[in-house]
């Protein structure tokens, strides 16, 4: 996907502004580079990438590109280890985020008569407040729950007749299972679910959709850019439309750093076009996806990226084969009797890599037959021999956070 003339102009303005910030992050990094008029695309693709570690290195506010009096808020990435990343926002950044988030709801057909139960967390993390701002701009009623407290979530859902649930896929699954267990499905009024764009398989999607009785939509975003809300799936469920008047989306080969043609998988790299507080140029997301070529049936002109297939850093090499959890999920979802939850353990025993694949077996299936089917399918489709181990439904951990599925015990 090449830069449009509008995107090129926005970038020129942004780069010129960044070059003039005394001691600024990009003034130092790019030495005042801008896009020429002969081949702006080539000039842009020659700019170095921006990585998470660089943002950590300038903790806390070294990325700020607006004067103190214009900064109204910060958010921070949820980083589990080491120094967090702080992203400052101006009022325009906050407003622009809400505009994009409102578009997401509209893409899903959500209106001002909906009641939106927000379960992602509030606070330093961008999630909850983004869901809330977009919903308020839309004019819908927000039920601002934040995460956890299943009893209260279900009570509010019943009493306030929430029509939309916003959640991570693991928390949506947990709520769906609880509704099923308590037999209260007829008291639930949900029609739509907006699910954070972690990698999740079709099988899990179908379970959540069936048990909650909702149509599901994927929302995309990351704290470093605005937060969730920079892209959203439409009713045709073919990737996520991304708001390319606010950001420019590239896909690169994570090994070579070169752009790949539309349609090919690689790492998503994002450049903000409008941001004031913390503009980012060629920011490496580590998310693996592709740009879907062609027009969507819904008629939306916005660029589509495919459902994420994993993270560049999730990639593990076992017996010389590169594996992404997303590939395993794709294989598992086609096998009858395998539920949506799985976990991978990689060990090194007697000089050999051993990959054990735990999965939940659906009721009424033979353990032996399904394990054999899993072994054969992974051998033929990924080229790797695994040790399949089935467990009962509910035995693998569910969590309200993004669930870690791959445990590499070799190092
Ligand atoms: Zn569409």
Percent of the chain with pLDDT over 70: 96
217 alpha carbon – ligand 1 mean position (Å) = 11
**Closest-CA residue to 280 (of 291, 267, 266, 269):** 269
236 alpha carbon – ligand 1 mean position (Å) = 6
44 alpha carbon – ligand 1 mean position (Å) = 28
The three-state (H, E, C) secondary structure of the chain, written as one string:
CCCCHHHHHHHHHHHHHHHCCCCCHHHHHHCCCCCCCCCHHHHHHCCCCECHHHHHHCCCCCCCCCCHHHEEEEEECCCCCCCCCEEEEEHHHHHHHHHHHHHHHHHCCCCCCCEEEECCCCCCCCHHHHHHHHHHHHCCEEEECCCCCHHHHHHHHHHCCCCEEEECHHHHHHHHHHHHHHCCHHHCCCCEEEEECCCCCHHHHHHHHHHHCCEEEEEEEECCCCEEEEEECCCCCCCEEECCCCEEEEEECCCCCCECCCCCCEEEEEEECCCCCCCCCCEEEEEEECEECCCCCCCCCCCEECCCCEEHHHCEEECCEEECHHHHHHHHCCCCCEEEEEEEEEEEECCEEEEEEEEEECCCCCHHHHHHHHHHHHHHHHCCCCEEEEEECCCCCCCCCCCCCEEECCC
What pLDDT shows up at residue 78? 61
Residue 406: φ, ψ to 5°: -115, 125
297 alpha carbon – ligand 1 mean position (Å) = 6
Question: In whole numbers, what is the pLDDT of the chain averaged over residues?
Answer: 92
93 alpha carbon – ligand 1 mean position (Å) = 26
What pLDDT shows up at residue 11? 98
241 alpha carbon – ligand 1 mean position (Å) = 7
CATH architecture of 90-312: 3-Layer(aba) Sandwich (3.40)
Query: What does the CA dihedral 166, 172, 175, 181 come to, rounded to 10 degrees?
Result: 140
What pLDDT shows up at residue 355? 93
What pLDDT shows up at residue 77? 83
135 alpha carbon – ligand 1 mean position (Å) = 21
What pLDDT shows up at residue 387? 95
295 alpha carbon – ligand 1 mean position (Å) = 8
173 alpha carbon – ligand 1 mean position (Å) = 25
Burial label for 303, CB within 10 Å (0-12, 13-18, 19+), is buried
Distances (CA, A) of 103 to 27, 89, 114, 137, 231: 33, 20, 15, 10, 9
243 alpha carbon – ligand 1 mean position (Å) = 12
What pLDDT shows up at residue 144? 97
**Closest-CA residue to 234 (of 199, 290, 192):** 192
233 alpha carbon – ligand 1 mean position (Å) = 7
| Rg from Cα positions in the chain | 22
CATH number of 315-408: 3.30.300.30
What pLDDT shows up at residue 255? 77
pLDDT along the chain (411 residues), means of 10: 96 97 96 95 98 94 97 84 89 98 98 97 89 98 95 98 95 93 96 82 82 94 95 95 98 90 92 98 94 96 90 78 77 90 89 92 95 95 91 81 72 70
pTM: 0.82
What pLDDT shows up at residue 399? 60
**Domain extents in the chain:** 90-312, 315-408
């Amino acid at each position: 996907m090449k830069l449009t003339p509008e995107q090129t102009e926005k970038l020129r303005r942004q780069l010129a502004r960044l070059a003039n910030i005394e001691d600024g992050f990009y003034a130092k990094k790019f030495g005042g580079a801008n896009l020429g008029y002969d081949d702006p695309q080539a000039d842009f693709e020659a700019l170095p990438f921006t990585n998470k570690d660089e943002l950590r290195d300038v903790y806390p506010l070294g990325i700020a590109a607006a004067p103190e009096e214009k900064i109204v808020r910060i958010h921070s990435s949820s980083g589990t280890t080491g120094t967090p990343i702080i992203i400052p926002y101006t009022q325009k950044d906050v407003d622009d985020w809400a505009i994009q988030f409102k578009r997401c709801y509209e893409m899903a057909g959500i209106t001002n008569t909906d009641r939106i139960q927000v379960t992602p967390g509030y606070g330093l993390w961008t999630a909850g407040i983004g869901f809330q701002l977009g919903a308020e701009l839309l004019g819908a009623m927000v039920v601002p729950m934040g995460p956890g407290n299943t009893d209260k979530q279900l009570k509010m859902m019943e009493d306030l007749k929430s029509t939309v649930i916003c959640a991570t896929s693991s928390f949506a699954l947990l709520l769906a299972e609880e509704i099923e267990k308590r037999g209260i499905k007829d008291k639930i009024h949900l029609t739509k679910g907006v699910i954070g764009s972690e990698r999740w398989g079709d099988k899990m999607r179908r379970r959540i959709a069936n048990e909650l009785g909702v149509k599901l939509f994927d929302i995309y975003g990351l704290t470093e850019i605005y937060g969730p809300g920079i892209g959203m799936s439409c009713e045709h469920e073919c990737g996520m439309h991304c708001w390319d008047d606010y950001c420019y989306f590239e896909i690169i080969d994570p090994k070579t750093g070169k752009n790949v043609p539309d349609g090919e998988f690689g790492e998503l790299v994002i450049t903000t076009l409008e941001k004031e507080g913390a503009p980012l140029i060629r920011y490496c997301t580590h998310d693996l996806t592709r740009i879907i070529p062609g027009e969507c049936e819904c008629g939306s002109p916005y660029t589509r990226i495919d459902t994420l297939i994993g993270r560049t850093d999730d990639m593990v090499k076992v017996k010389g084969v590169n594996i992404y959890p997303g590939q395993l999920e794709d294989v598992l979802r086609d096998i009858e009797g395998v539920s949506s939850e799985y976990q991978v353990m990689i060990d090194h025993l007697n000089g050999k890599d051993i990959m054990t694949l735990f999965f939940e077996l659906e009721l009424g299936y033979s353990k032996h037959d399904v394990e054999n089917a899993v072994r054969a399918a992974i051998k033929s489709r990924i080229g790797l021999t695994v040790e399949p181990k089935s467990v009962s439904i509910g035995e693998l951990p569910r969590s309200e956070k993004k669930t870690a599925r791959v445990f590499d015990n070799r190092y």
